[in-house]
Structure 1
Amino acid sequence: MSASTGRPLPSKVTRTRLYEQVAEQITAWAAEAGLRVGDRLPPERELAVQLGVSRATLSQALVALEVVGVVAVRHGDGTVLVRPTTASISQAIREHADRLPDIHETRDALETKLAALAAQRRTDEDLAAIEAALDAMAADIEAGGRGVEGDEQFHAAVTAASHSALLARLMLEIGPLVRESRLESLAQPERPRASLAGHRRIAEAIAAGDPVAAARAMHDHIDMVSDVALIRDDA
């Protein structure tokens, strides 16, 4: 309360970061240019020059737009519009940031248990599916991609190997939120290779039939991938 008027003081001013401003500019330009779903944005180098920003700032903006579901950044195909929007991108980014701690806690609770159960219940077919996911992620990373699809495939294979229908249903429920955090995590420098290494440790524990080691490896992996820089206040 203000001592002089008795009225509530104004709320804290939210600082809009440069990449958020760039993300807003990109969506405004896409609307003005009449871009439709499936249309590609100009190449990153060209966009950066047009907007007068560094490639690093532009990349942050594109990741933010991908996280909130406006674009898809496809290796070898550029950046594609998947959902035009007139809503505040900055607000969407901050709502995403607010969800991250809950996503981390929920993933840790569910996926550490899933990994432990997978170590106890996996079949030869389950192990083959896990290895196929690792191979797919590794191949995409080697080709210059981020390994997003292979990452999703790996976690789905571990979930399937748990043979727990209810836990699998819960994972399906939080799937869109997990994808938000996955996209952001795998956009961090060197994160795809670190994530792949974490996956391999989980897979080794599951193959060895060691539920304690599998749960620990999954917990460590989720802790690592939940450390994202894009939405920090000092980013």
Structure 2
Amino acid sequence: MVRAPRGADGARHAPSTAPRTALYERVADWLLAYVAERGLAVGDRLPTERALAERFDVSRASVREALAALQAQGVLEIRHGDGIYLRHRPEERLALEALLVKRRRLSEVIEARSVLEVTLAGMAARRRTHADIRRIWLALDLMDADIAAGGIGAEGDRHFHAAVTAAARNPLLAELMNYLAGLIHESRIASLSQPGRPPRSSRQHRAIASAIEAGDPHEARAAMQAHIDLVGNLG
């Protein structure tokens, strides 16, 4: 007979059956928030499927599913060979809820990132190897190349923070960062989507990288904190 595992209180609890939010549903929420933030009007054209995938740093398949769901709700109209258009303003309550949830969650994520990533930056400055430094700078080159091509540099940003985490050589903290990866990604997209933000973010990343390469834990922590503060400032 299979028994439910015991919890911290010693009682047996049935495994959680709460469904996890599918990625396309999260992308749909991001799209609703995007419509609300930009104040799009009926008939306005949205970015292309490819541009949305790059902006949210997800697969085009996930964007396609999200667009299909919003089209089924009558919010969007997909004109094949032409573009994606706002057909009806989403119900104000839904758009506002999506925006408020995003902002509230962002505040909590920024606090968590300040605790974790500032510490990781200092540890990385003490423990980094030549291979770590190379990975960090390669990630920044990737970020800058994407920004130069008109993107927001999200993939390079993700690789940069992963490289800093790896350089800190603390498996437990790395596990915590991995656990928070989805939420951290949301904060990354929200920040990099701000006008003029990608180049500024890149400069801050390079300041962090320089401090880590120089083996200066104090400066690495300070530079990372300045960066996290910027991420949390959505103007």
- If the length of structure 1 is used for normalisation, what is the TM-score? 0.66
| Residue 204 (structure 2) pairs with residue 198 (structure 1) | yes
How far did residue 226 of structure 1 move?
1.2
Q: Deviations over 1:101-145 (max 9, x none)?
A: 111110001000000000000011100100110100011011111
Amino acid across the alignment from 1:195: S
Q: Can you give the 5+ residue segments of structure 2 that lack an aligned partner in the other structure?
A: 1-30, 74-90
How far did residue 23 of structure 1 move?
3.6
Task: For 1:50-129, list aligned pairs within 5 A.
Answer: 51-53=42-44, 72-73=53-54, 80-83=63-66, 84=69, 88-129=94-135
| Residue 217 (structure 2) pairs with residue 214 (structure 1) | no
Corresponding residue number in structure 1 for 2:13: none
Aligned pair count reads 174
Task: Give yes or no for contact 1:74–1:80 (8 Å, CA) kept in 2.
Answer: no
- Where 1:51 maps in the other structure, the secondary structure is coil
How far did residue 21 of structure 1 move?
8.8
Amino acid across the alignment from 1:127: I
* Structure-2 change in CA distance of 1:128 and 1:82 (3 Å): farther
**Separation (CA, whole Å) in 1 of partners of 2:42 and 2:182:** 31
| Residue 136 (structure 2) pairs with residue 130 (structure 1) | yes
* Structure-2 change in CA distance of 1:160 and 1:91 (3 Å): same
* Structure-2 change in CA distance of 1:22 and 1:200 (3 Å): closer
**Separation (CA, whole Å) in 2 of partners of 1:74 and 1:219:** 24
Amino acid across the alignment from 2:166: A
Task: Give yes or no for contact 2:191–2:234 (8 Å, CA) kept in 1.
Answer: yes
**Separation (CA, whole Å) in 2 of partners of 1:101 and 1:159:** 21
Task: For 1:149-168, list aligned pairs within 5 A.
Answer: 149-168=155-174
Amino acid across the alignment from 2:148: E
How far did residue 181 of structure 1 move?
1.1
Amino acid across the alignment from 1:51: V
Corresponding residue number in structure 1 for 2:186: 180
**Separation (CA, whole Å) in 1 of partners of 2:171 and 2:198:** 29
* Structure-2 change in CA distance of 1:101 and 1:72 (3 Å): same
Q: Deviations over 1:39-79 (max 9, x none)?
A: xxxxxxxxx7x8245x7xx67xx9xxx9xxxx63459x999
How far did residue 91 of structure 1 move?
1.9
Q: Percent identity?
A: 44
Task: For 1:6-21, list aligned pairs within 5 A.
Answer: none
Amino acid across the alignment from 1:105: E
